[in-house]
Amino acid sequence: MGDFKKKSDGRDEAAESHWQLGKAHRKVDAVDRMRGIARYTDDIKLPGLLHGKIKRSPHPHARIVAIDVGKAEAMEGVHAVVTGRDFPVPYGVIPWTPDENALCVDKVCFVGDGVAAVAAIDEDTAIAACDAIEVEYELLPAYFDPEAALAPDAVQINPYAKKGNLSKHVKLEFGPVDQALEEADIVIKDDYFFEGTTHTAIEPHCAVANVETSGVLTVWSATQVSHYLHRELAKVLGMPAHRIRVIQPPLGGAFGGKSEPFDLEFCVAKLALMTGRPVKILYTREEVFYSHRGRHPMKMHYKTGFRRDGTITGVAAETIIDGGAYSSFGLVTTYYSGQLLTAPYVFPTYRFDSRRAYTNKPACGPKRGHGSVQPRFAIECQLDKAAVQLGMDPIELRRRNNLGADGVTVNEMKVGSNGFLECLERVEAASGWQDRRAELPYGRGLGIAGSTYISGTNYCVYPNEMPQAAVQITLDRSGRARVFSGANDIGQGSNTMLAVIASEELGLDLSDIRVLSADSDLCPIDLGAYSSRITLMVGNACLEAARGLRDKICASVARRWSIPAKRVTLTGRKALDMEDPERQISLTEAFVMAESDHGLLTAVGNYDTPKDRHGSYRGGTIGASPAYSFTAHVAEVEVDAETGIVTVTNVWVAHDCGKALSPRIVEGQMEGSVYMGFAEAIMEQHIVDAEHNGVHTGPSLLDYRIPTFQDTPDIHSLIVEHPDAQGPYGAKEAGEGPLHPIIPAISNAIYDAVGVRMNATPFSPPRVLDALESRRTLEADGAIAPHKDHPLAVPEVA
């Protein structure tokens, strides 16, 4: 069912006959960006544009006693000032947890929380006006540790919280896990910590608003979820959605960091409505760090039982999630911290108990691999430890636990196609695992890890009966086509993906197609760029629309040629008779025929998710996806035992994306994912300084160090294609799955290199040295033998 008929190499049999699929495409919108012509949000200029700035709280937790905006309002060049009182309606991207206001109303919850905003003739005046706003605070105790925040006597942080500082608690149990652990031959127990990290898109958040004379409000924003922004704007501003237009201009990276509304969007809208003039707010880089919504820090305790043959008997996980000041997607994160772990390995029994706490920090949210990167780190390290204890090759141990295609997970998720075994084979072969691993000297090592990820979620964040995606395509006698889609191209190439599908079906060249996306006035609604949903969902909608048009065109041509419509094919900018290929006309001529028959040529496609693929228990829909991608990584590291520096030299990444509609773009997603995860493993940490009032330890691209060209490993992408019946041409996601395995793969490679387990990210030099020091003590006591016959020397200095 799940897998299409495949050749032995896993490729779709029809691949050779494709006109566009699987080719090395150029993106439809890259050249204007490269030439500096494309206008990103901050590049928008409008006559009379005012500049806005947001005043932020210098306290991590305080009650707002009074705000005096008088001096700011009186300043020359200041056009309007707003505070939280102007936005009394709370919002939240998850409708069940509306727990933040556009600006703080009664209290501030972290250093950087917005309290007021101004619109002025220029940025300098706006900054001066913010400085002139006087806020009186009454300080409250602040909590920077989730367990401290969950203490019974802790002061409540979030003003809308229902249970103190417990943001969400999910405990789900599948089967008799305690019994399974008791009966296991070995049980691996360990504690893990995944540090918070942030997205760091190079484009800072920016929004512009303008009000037409008709009263229609337009908001341009660097968002990856135009539709959810549209909804929340309507709610918070108290305006009907049909009086608001949301446009997402070309976007400079997102990674989950722009996947919900932010204060600046509400502020520009309100300030534009108040002043009647266009208003822009551009975050400073520092403000981007405060907006955050990045990877949740997670403290995880894992117990995993194994039989002697390496198969898992049960997994029990307890997780404390540090949520920051607001919910964001936290309800979903808390589920994902357990729900997305149940493939690619069979868990006969499973329990997870995850609690998300509010703390006085920038709110965490969805960063690439939302909620599942952290537990994946834990479980893949657990598997490695079991393999060592059982004396088994860790790849072999993974094979023995493989769920396979058309499987059902312990938490009742239905998995379709599954190329995980091939992923393992590909990285095993490409890395030279079998030959090299045993021979690498002390200090060098290889590590393996695998993972799975969703291709979109089966349910929208707000319950409704409407399709999850819709696309409209029109074409005409000019020979050009237009694809209208609400989907947000955030650099991942979704506009190109739509053009590839349309061109594949219609025989057009990519350059004959204009993709118009993410403008709520022009395009059908789409839910946005999150949970790796676009290729599968919007791709399916586009495929349906394109096929609708193709059928009309083929029928019109066939009628004139007096042959059955199925003999006509559209390819290479031509319509031709498959049984007599000499008989052909240009596509433009074919379009003329069809337009003569039908008038304007237009078709729509809709996509909705299958509703029979999730668990039958409360919460069982969360984590359910139409299709699951699979990934395996091998990381090669060099560990300098004297400095503790880990150098990741090579990463082999094999990813089952179902079908690579555009392989070079898929590779780019794989490479970018590896890079982002590698950075989390080795150096990144988004933390506040608990000793210093909870300030961010370095809200800049100097102090929040992200890897440069020279720091980045050589990344070898291996595309694996196990087409899934749910995806367009079998395609599944490629944007987030390939991130997951890199962190545990590096941890496991460090163990292979020098015999120490890194259970907390990042694997920084001081931590690696500490781990080596602990090992040295054990070796000196005779408790363990030297790793790779290399006794750890006593340091020469110190």
Residue 175 vs 698, nearer CB to other proteins? 698
Instruction: Using alpha carbons, select from 599, 573, 553 the residue that is nearest to residue 479.
Output: 573
| Alpha-carbon span 371 to 532, nearest angstrom | 13
Residues binding other proteins: number (CB under 8 A): 88
Those residues whose C-beta lies under 8 Å from the C-beta of residue 431, and which sit 6 or more positions away, are 446, 634, 636, 650, 652
Task: Determine which residue in the list 1, 14, 17, 37 makes contact with other proteins, applying CB under 8 A.
Answer: 37
Q: Is 138 in the site for other proteins (CB under 8 A)?
A: no
Minimum gap (Å) between residue 661 Cβ and other proteins: 13
| Alpha-carbon span 424 to 430, nearest angstrom | 10
Convert residues 727-766 into a mask of x (bound to other proteins by CB under 8 A) and - (unbound). --------------------------------------xx
**Bridge partners of 306?**
186, 312
Task: Determine which residue in the list 664, 725, 760, 779 makes contact with other proteins, applying CB under 8 A.
Answer: 664
| H helices, E strands: number in the chain | 19, 28
Q: Is 549 in the site for other proteins (CB under 8 A)?
A: no
Minimum gap (Å) between residue 26 Cβ and other proteins: 5
Q: Is 442 in the site for other proteins (CB under 8 A)?
A: no
Radius of gyration for the alpha carbons in the chain, expressed in angstroms and rounded: 27
Residue 40 vs 442, nearer CB to other proteins? 40
Exposure b/e, 531-558, CB count within 10 A at least 16 = b: bbbbbbbbbbbbbbbbebbbbbbbbbbb
| Alpha-carbon span 23 to 17, nearest angstrom | 12
Within residues 48-77, the interface with other proteins by CB under 8 A covers: 56, 58-59
Q: How far is CA 280 from CA 118, 199, 219, 263, 638, in A?
A: 11, 23, 10, 12, 48
Instruction: Using alpha carbons, select from 476, 597, 456 the residue that is nearest to residue 535.
Output: 456
Length of the chain: 798
Residue 27 vs 613, nearer CB to other proteins? 27
Residue 42 vs 526, nearer CB to other proteins? 42
Task: Determine which residue in the list 68, 124, 191, 309 makes contact with other proteins, applying CB under 8 A.
Answer: 124
Q: What is the token pair recorded at 728?
A: 């367009």
Show the DSSP H helices in 279-391 as ranges: 285-291, 330-339, 373-390
| Cross-sheet strand order for the sheet of 574-577 | 568-571, 574-577, 580-586
Q: Is 399 in the site for other proteins (CB under 8 A)?
A: no
Residue 438 vs 702, nearer CB to other proteins? 702
Q: Is 705 in the site for other proteins (CB under 8 A)?
A: yes
Q: Is 443 in the site for other proteins (CB under 8 A)?
A: no
Task: Determine which residue in the list 249, 256, 493, 723 makes contact with other proteins, applying CB under 8 A.
Answer: 493
Residue 643 vs 774, nearer CB to other proteins? 643
Q: Is 303 in the site for other proteins (CB under 8 A)?
A: no
| Cross-sheet strand order for the sheet of 469-475 | 513-517, 481-485, 469-475, 601-607
| Alpha-carbon span 738 to 453, nearest angstrom | 9
Q: Are 29 and 485 in contact, with CB atoms under 8 Å apart?
A: no
Contact region for other proteins (CB under 8 A) — 19-27, 302-310, 396-404, 421-429? Answer: 19-27
Q: Is 675 in the site for other proteins (CB under 8 A)?
A: yes
| Alpha-carbon span 459 to 613, nearest angstrom | 11
Minimum gap (Å) between residue 633 Cβ and other proteins: 13
Residue 168 vs 258, nearer CB to other proteins? 258
Exposure b/e, 747-775, CB count within 10 A at least 16 = b: bbbbbbbbbbbbbbbbbbbebbbebbeeb
Q: Is 643 in the site for other proteins (CB under 8 A)?
A: yes
Q: Is 695 in the site for other proteins (CB under 8 A)?
A: yes
| Alpha-carbon span 239 to 500, nearest angstrom | 38
Q: Is 667 in the site for other proteins (CB under 8 A)?
A: yes
Q: Is 698 in the site for other proteins (CB under 8 A)?
A: yes
Q: Is 134 in the site for other proteins (CB under 8 A)?
A: no
Task: Determine which residue in the list 123, 147, 185, 551 makes contact with other proteins, applying CB under 8 A.
Answer: 123
Phi, psi of 388 (to 5 degrees): -65, -45
Task: Determine which residue in the list 33, 477, 567, 583 makes contact with other proteins, applying CB under 8 A.
Answer: 33
| Alpha-carbon span 258 to 283, nearest angstrom | 12
Task: Determine which residue in the list 213, 214, 616, 710 makes contact with other proteins, applying CB under 8 A.
Answer: 710
Task: Determine which residue in the list 419, 605, 672, 727 makes contact with other proteins, applying CB under 8 A.
Answer: 672
Residue 138 vs 580, nearer CB to other proteins? 138
Residue 447 vs 493, nearer CB to other proteins? 493
Minimum gap (Å) between residue 182 Cβ and other proteins: 42
Task: Determine which residue in the list 1, 65, 151, 701 makes contact with other proteins, applying CB under 8 A.
Answer: 701
Q: How far is CA 594 from CA 446, 558, 559, 588, 719, in A?
A: 59, 10, 10, 10, 39
Residue 3 vs 489, nearer CB to other proteins? 489
Contact region for other proteins (CB under 8 A) — 522-530, 574-582, 705-713, 775-783? Answer: 705-713
Instruction: Using alpha carbons, select from 679, 758, 685 the residue that is nearest to residue 192.
Output: 758
Q: Is 715 in the site for other proteins (CB under 8 A)?
A: yes
Q: Is 466 in the site for other proteins (CB under 8 A)?
A: no
Q: Is 674 in the site for other proteins (CB under 8 A)?
A: yes
Within residues 181-220, the interface with other proteins by CB under 8 A covers: 199-204
Contact region for other proteins (CB under 8 A) — 301-309, 396-404, 617-625, 666-674? Answer: 666-674
Task: Identify residue 292 by its one-letter amino acid code.
Answer: H
Within residues 247-286, the interface with other proteins by CB under 8 A covers: 250-255, 282, 284-286
| Alpha-carbon span 772 to 765, nearest angstrom | 10
Q: Are 160 and 171 in contact, with CB atoms under 8 Å apart?
A: no
Residue 489 vs 724, nearer CB to other proteins? 489
Q: Is 121 in the site for other proteins (CB under 8 A)?
A: no
Minimum gap (Å) between residue 626 Cβ and other proteins: 25
